[in-house]
Amino acid sequence: MSMKKIRNMEEFSAVSGISRPTVSKYFNDPESVRKTTRAKIEKAIEAHDYRPNIFAMNQNRKLTKNVGIVVPLLTDPYFAEIARNLEQRCIDAGYRPTLFSAHGDPAFEVEVLDTLRSMKPAGVLLAPLGRASDRVALEKFCDDVPTLIFDSSVDELGLAFVGSDNVQFTTHITDYLCRTGEAPCFFEMKTPANPNAHRRRQAYLSAMETFGHTPQVISVDGEGWGFEEIGRLGGHDALANHRFGTNTILCSNDRLAIGLLTACYECNVTVGRGPDCAIRVAGQDGHPHSRYTCPPLTTISHDYDAVSKHAADALFEAIDGTISPWKSTRIQGKLVLRDSA
């Protein structure tokens, strides 16, 4: 402990015995100073609990250590989980992450981008809203700030794209369903929020054709990000009107499946792979909640770790000056077999 509080870097450099420019260099990158110097500074930090004023630091630096993490909807545990993962990686790499949610609103997404711009971030990890996003605003932003797009791709935008391999997702789980029972129909939103849904539908159609089955797509109405409710209402409608042509339903995503399961419950339709079950339901995403539905949901899960690792590493490389051409990395999913299908 110390007697008097250190007010600025000047005073700190005095008590540490190191000149201010060197101290400044240390805080910019601890590895950039000699080991003995580093030790002295760190001893002084320990003793006086000094931290430089981040506002003054960032004011003159062309590039800060700030990193923005933007997701479409933080109340969706899937995004919350991947954001948490990314946040940790940023901290470990010495950056200062700040979390933002667009709250499902394109206008808010633009506002977030504006706020972010004023933070002079070294880079941004952005999962766009998708279809509803203001394409022009996104492009302008990516021109100004090194931005890595994840989860939902917008072609050729930003530094690169990292996400899941939706085609593999759907092909793989469709294959599984075909091999273990009736071929599935496909349950989706008519106007999905992001392009992943389109890829999944296409992959379903292709897979069914490949496997020699007739595809059937049930598209339900509903706007916005309340997927469970859309799935529930659409499920009720489909069940009442016998729109499901088979006893196996592959949902475009887990949240839709969760809503459908609730509809099934409410209509007394038993779900599962047992002999006394009426239908099988499968999802896609590996949503954190999918383990706890009744029955637990069979799904194909994002590789959260791999996606976030690739995304973060790619951004850090770009920040460090490694210039590489735009590319799209798509991570394979892993089938999670549970009772629902």
Partner DNA sequence: GTAGATATTTTACGCGCGTAAATTTTTTGT
Partner DNA sequence: ACAAAAAATTTACGCGCGTAAAATATCTAC
Half-sphere exposure of 264 (CA within 13 A, CB side): 23
30 scored as a contact of DNA (CB under 7 A): no
289 scored as a contact of DNA (CB under 7 A): no
Q: Which does 295 bind (CB under 5 to 8 A by kind): DNA, its own copies, none?
A: its own copies
Which one among 15, 45, 57, 278 touches DNA, defined by CB under 7 A?
Answer: 57
52 scored as a contact of DNA (CB under 7 A): yes
- Where helices occur in the chain by DSSP H, the ranges are 9-16, 20-28, 35-48, 54-60, 77-92, 106-117, 135-144, 166-180, 195-210, 227-240, 254-266, 304-319
Cβ 75 to its own copies shortest distance, Å = 4
Tell me the window of 20-28, 242-250, 261-269, 286-294 that interacts with DNA (CB under 7 A): 20-28
Please state the φ and ψ torsions of residue 100, each to the nearest 5 degrees: -135, 145
190 scored as a contact of DNA (CB under 7 A): no
Residues near its own copies, by CB under 8 A? 51, 53-56, 58-59, 74-77, 80-81, 83-84, 88, 96, 98-101, 103, 114-115, 118-120, 228-229, 232, 258-259, 261-262, 264-266, 288-289, 291-296, 339
Dist CA 217 CA 71 (whole Å): 29
Dist CA 338 CA 290 (whole Å): 9
Burial of 323: CB neighbours in 10 Å, binned 0-12, 13-18, 19+: exposed
Dist CA 325 CA 317 (whole Å): 12
Which one among 43, 61, 135, 291 touches DNA, defined by CB under 7 A?
Answer: 61
Which one among 1, 4, 46, 62 touches DNA, defined by CB under 7 A?
Answer: 62
Burial of 119: CB neighbours in 10 Å, binned 0-12, 13-18, 19+: middle
Tell me the window of 7-15, 97-105, 164-172, 261-269 that interacts with DNA (CB under 7 A): 7-15
Interacting residue ranges for DNA, rule: CB under 7 A: 7-10, 12, 17-22, 24-25, 27-28, 32-34, 36-38, 52-53, 56-57, 59-62
